[in-house]
Amino acid sequence: MNKLNVAILTGGDVAERSISLQSAATVHKHLDANKYNKYLIELNKGAFTEQGSGAKVDMNDFSLHRNGEIVRFDLIFLMIHGHPAEDGCLQGYFQLQGLPYTGCNLFVSALTFDKQACKDFLKSHDIPMAPSRLLRKGQDTDWQELLDMGLPLFVKPNKNGSSYGVSKVKTPEELEPAVALSFQFDDEVVVEGFLNGVEFSNGVVRKDGEVVVLPITEIVPKNEFFDFKAKYENESQEITPARLSDEQREQCQAQTKKIYEVLGCRGMSRIDYILVDGTFYFLEANTIPGMSEASIIPQQAHAHGWTIAELLDAVVEDALAAVKQA
């Protein structure tokens, strides 16, 4: 069988760049070399180049030109967190090029990347979630309306990940500086009511056409919430499988499957929750979740009995199947 040429996209010019580089390195390490020719393609300052060789990608057809040869890709493995991959921009480009890519399509990616729009969409499907308000840069803010949701409040960029620019607000005086901090990362900010519970995360992937919900991870941060340090600097305890009753586990996994299917996701996603009084409240959907060796999805794949290579095979096969079904 001929090996597929796979471009693993990484980097980007956003705050999550360093996480993307780690995620792509994991994918490159674990993609089966017997099945795939693997190319790490890094986005940096608007240009795509191959890591190591520095060879440039021709954006006319996304082919790689190096040493007098032209490499054409059979698949794009998207591992750029944030813009321009997690928000759907690159998906539109690759769709125009006729190149298969992993994960969700343009619309689903854009919808899930916009935290408030995703919550608004899921409300009609009876998904429980915290109350929230959307703020736009340059518009007047009704601070009292925000405080009427009660304290504490969470303030976070609407279209960003990895907990950059996220604050927990405990007093009225902290609210305006927290909003200003979030506006450094996005022109829209979500202010969300605080839910006092335990955080959980649940990965999901499609394999052989069937939705497979992975084991759940319980997150016990050393800090007050699951911030950047908790996620990426080992300042949290992540317990997989989570300490849940069978009934709670089934409830969470059923809700994860419902959200994945209602949104129209493909490939690998992760749904985050807060458990309060027996109810799993939706926090957000991540359609290009972190894939560093310490990330949650690899932990869940191992708990499911899969190697990372088997998980990645499922993601690749789902991407190729999506093209055949189109």
Burial class (CB in 10 A: 0-12, 13-18, 19+), 310: middle
Report d(CA 202, CA 251) in Å as an integer: 12
Q: Please state the domain count of the chain.
A: 3
Residues 181 and 202 in one domain: no
Residues 210 and 189 in one domain: no
- Active-site residue, from 109, 286, 292, 295: 286
**Secondary structure element (H or E) that encloses residue 18, with its range:** helix 17-30
Q: Provide the mean pLDDT of the chain.
A: 94
- Active-site residue, from 114, 272, 313, 318: 272
**Pairing of the two strands 75-78 and 4-11:** parallel
Q: What is the DSSP letter of 158?
A: T
- Catalytic site includes residue 16: yes
The pLDDT, as a whole number, for residue 326 is: 65
Burial class (CB in 10 A: 0-12, 13-18, 19+), 133: middle
CATH number at residue 32: 3.40.50.20
Instruction: Produce one character per residue of 239-265: b if its CB has 16 or more CB atoms within 10 Å, e if not.
Output: ebebebeeebbebbbebbbbbbeebeb
* Mean pLDDT, residues 180-204 taken together: 96
The answer on pLDDT for 154 being more than 80 is yes
- Which residue range(s) make up the domain with 10? 4-101
- Catalytic site includes residue 270: yes
Task: Identify whether the C-beta of residue 129 lies closer than 8 Å to the C-beta of residue 122.
Answer: yes
The model's confidence at residue 231, banded by pLDDT at 50, 70 and 90, is very low
- Active-site residue, from 232, 260, 273, 281: 232
- Catalytic site includes residue 232: yes
Residues 231 and 311 in one domain: yes
Residues 249 and 296 in one domain: yes
The model's confidence at residue 229, banded by pLDDT at 50, 70 and 90, is very low
- Active-site residue, from 109, 158, 160, 162: 162
Q: Where are the beta strands (DSSP E) in 53-92?
A: 57-58, 63-66, 69-71, 75-78
- Catalytic site includes residue 290: yes
* Mean pLDDT, residues 230-240 taken together: 70
Q: What share of the chain is helix, strand, coil (3-state, %, to 5)?
A: 35, 30, 35
Angle formed at CA 223 by CA 109 and CA 205, multiple of 5 degrees: 30
Is the pLDDT higher at 118 or at 324?
118
User: Considering the chain, what percentage of its residues have pLDDT values greater than 70?
Assistant: 94
CATH number at residue 121: 3.30.470.20
Residues 230 and 310 in one domain: yes
- Catalytic site includes residue 13: no
Is the pLDDT higher at 36 or at 236?
36
The model's confidence at residue 227, banded by pLDDT at 50, 70 and 90, is very low
Residues 122 and 138 in one domain: no
The pLDDT, as a whole number, for residue 163 is: 67
- Active-site residue, from 16, 186, 227, 238: 16
- Catalytic site includes residue 186: no
The pLDDT, as a whole number, for residue 137 is: 96
Residues 85 and 218 in one domain: no
The answer on pLDDT for 230 being more than 50 is no
Residues 119 and 249 in one domain: yes
- Active-site residue, from 88, 103, 165, 290: 290
| Prediction pTM value | 0.92
The pLDDT, as a whole number, for residue 246 is: 98
